[in-house]
Every structure is written in C-alpha cells, then in structure tokens.
Amino acid sequence: MTPARPSRRPLVTVVMPIHDRFALARRALESIYGQTHRPVEAIVVDDASSPPFAPPSVADSKGVEVRVRRIDENVGPGAAREAGRRLASGEYIAYLDSDDAWHPQHLAGLVGALDRHSDADMSWAPSIEMHEGDERALRRYNDEVHERILPALLWGRPWHTSACLWRRTLSDGIGPWKAINVWRQATLLQTPKYPWELLQMGNCGSPIETPEGWLVITHGVGPVREYVLGVSLLDLENPEKEIGRYLVRVEARRRYGECAFGSRRCGYPRSKVPHVICNRLTAKLHPEFPVHIP
C-alpha cells in the first residue's frame, strides 16, 4: 500500500515595510523566521532608510527566503506595501509592520482557518496594543466573527493590518495600496463657527481625496450635548484654503463601551491569550481563536 503523500503547504508571502527603526524591524523579522508554517518568503521594503537596511544572512533566516526592495525616496507605508505586494509570489499574503511581531503559530493558525473555510478569502487574529511591553487594550471589535466585510467596516475596522492573512486572488481583486499623504506640520484649519461646535469639534478620520478637493467629515458638540456631523471641502493644492463647509444637526445616542475581556461577546475568558498582540511593540497569536470573513 502506497503511503499517502502529505498535502502541499501553501507559500505565504510576508510584506514588511521599514523606515529606519532597525532594532524593531529585526525583531519583527525574527518573528517571521520563528513561524511554524513553511514555506514563507519575506519581502522587506526599505522605504528610504538612512543608512540602507542590511539584509540578514541566509543562515539567520531559518529557511525563510528574504528579499529586500530599496526605495530611494520616502513614499510612506501604503506605497511601500504595494511595492512589496507586486513582488509577492505566494498563494497567501500577510503584512507585518516593522514595530509589530507575531507568535510562532500566527501564520499556521490563519492558514488553517482559510483551509477550513474555502468560502473565506481573508482571516485575521485579535490584537492587543502594547506600550513599552505592557498590554494596554484589545483592539475594539476584533474578537468578533463577521459574515461580510460590509457593513462592519463602516463603523470600525475590526482587524489590525499586521493581524491579517489574505488570499492572493482577493488581494489582486481589491487592487493596489494607495499612497498616503502625510502632513508633518500641524496647522489650524478650522475653529468653532456655529453654536453646536462650541464644546467639541474634530475630524472623523483622514481626509478623502476627490477631484474637487480634500473631503473632511467633521463632528461637533454643542450645548445640551447637541451633536452634528459636518462636511468640509479643502483645496487640493493648499488644504489650508476652505472651499466649502456644510453642517447637519443629527440626533445621536451615546453608545457605552463594553468590557473587552471576560464578556460574552468576546468568546473567551480573561485567562486566554488572544491571537496577536501588536501595534506599538509586540504581537502574539493563540491558535484556538481563528476568525474569518468571506
């Protein structure tokens, strides 16, 4: 009787953009080398670091193929990830920020989740934010299972970028990462103009680039907790110039937060360890909690 051949394990491409911070980047690379899943290729995109990032030796990579793609002009994390994505040859793609790290079973757990759910094209693991090694908070909503990306994505992205595994087919279907515009010097653009902005005023997320200008969704709070949503249009070339501004009063009820640990919504008790602890320093995964969405 001929013994059954072991099933082929899919190649996972890990794309890691870096800009300086070499000590953190090497720690992130170590967490890639320590993955129990094989085969893995790592594409490190050096986004104009100074000095250039030195690739590790083959002996140090523990069987992980490492390629370094150098970009001479700083383009930001989105465009750097896209440069790496275009070089990927894996059936699955994962992104790891240079200040994050994975538990050794991270990729194995997420590949297993997609193997068990052929109708799903992306899996993610819950993440915990850390500061100087201390656990701070479970990322909001990321311990839940969602059957569809929409409408869940409208009220908050449940997953962290470093916590996901994507089928290559879905990544190609979504299309390229977009370059991120970064304004490094803070400038006051708006001040309270209406009574319902007097207590609080702010923007709801990043500006949206349109052919007509930068679209900024704003919120304001006035006396007696009167809430408003607003829309501002700023000039594309000079965002300090306001083209138009429109505000709408809305009725809103305060939604109180829920306990991140030990609640029924979480699905695991306080003593359990989430899949990924990431963003701002370190990450881990626990294989008992694979989460997927089609």
> Could you read off the pLDDT of 83-106 as tens digits, one per residue?
999 999 999 999 999 989 898 999
Tokens of 256: 């109180």
Tally of CB atoms within 10 A around 157: 15
Is it the case that residue 45 has pLDDT exceeding 80? yes
Is it the case that residue 294 has pLDDT exceeding 70? no
How many helices, marked H, and strands, marked E, lie in the chain? Answer: 5, 15
pLDDT mean over 104-115: 93
Answer left, alpha or beta for residue 152, where phi above 0 means left and psi between -120 and 50 means alpha. alpha
3-state secondary structure 45-84: EEECCCCCCCCCCHHHHCCCEEEEEEECCCCCHHHHHHHH
Phi, psi dihedral angles at 151 (to 5 degrees): -95, 5
Q: Are 93 and 17 in contact (CB under 8 A)?
A: no
Which range among 5-9, 16-20, 194-198 has the greatest average pLDDT? 16-20
pLDDT at 188: 81
Tally of CB atoms within 10 A around 8: 8
Range of lowest pLDDT (82-86, 126-130, 242-246, 285-289): 285-289
Averaged pLDDT of the chain: 76
Can you tell me which residue has the tokens 């094989």? 38
More confident residue, 142 or 37: 37
The answer for residues whose C-beta is within 8 angstroms of residue 109's C-beta and 6 or more apart is: 125, 275, 285, 286, 287, 290
More confident residue, 251 or 157: 157
Q: Give the percent of the chain with pLDDT over 70.
A: 71
Range of lowest pLDDT (174-183, 190-199, 261-270): 261-270
pLDDT at 275: 36
189 pLDDT band, cuts 50/70/90, is confident
Q: Are 224 and 199 in contact (CB under 8 A)?
A: no
pLDDT at 141: 67
Is it the case that residue 252 has pLDDT exceeding 50? no
User: How far is residue 222's CA from residue 200's CA, in Å, rounded to a whole number?
Assistant: 7
Q: Which domains does the chain have, with CATH numbers?
A: 12-179+268-293 (3.90.550.10), 195-239 (no CATH)
User: How far is residue 16's CA from residue 1's CA, in Å, rounded to a whole number?
Assistant: 45
More confident residue, 227 or 274: 227
Is it the case that residue 168 has pLDDT exceeding 90? yes
60 pLDDT band, cuts 50/70/90, is confident
193 pLDDT band, cuts 50/70/90, is confident
Is it the case that residue 249 has pLDDT exceeding 80? no
pLDDT mean over 211-223: 83
Whether the full predicted model's pTM is greater than 0.75, yes or no, is: no
pLDDT mean over 192-221: 80
145 by DSSP, 3-state: which? coil
Is it the case that residue 71 has pLDDT exceeding 80? yes
Tally of CB atoms within 10 A around 194: 14
User: How far is residue 162's CA from residue 158's CA, in Å, rounded to a whole number?
Assistant: 12
Q: Which residue in 50, 44, 99, 42 sits closest to 73, CA to CA?
A: 50
> Could you read off the pLDDT of 127-143 as tens digits, one per residue?
877 766 666 666 666 66
pLDDT at 288: 34
pLDDT at 218: 82
Answer left, alpha or beta for residue 128, where phi above 0 means left and psi between -120 and 50 means alpha. beta
More confident residue, 39 or 276: 39
The answer for residues whose C-beta is within 8 angstroms of residue 27's C-beta and 6 or more apart is: 101, 282
The answer for residues whose C-beta is within 8 angstroms of residue 252's C-beta and 6 or more apart is: 227
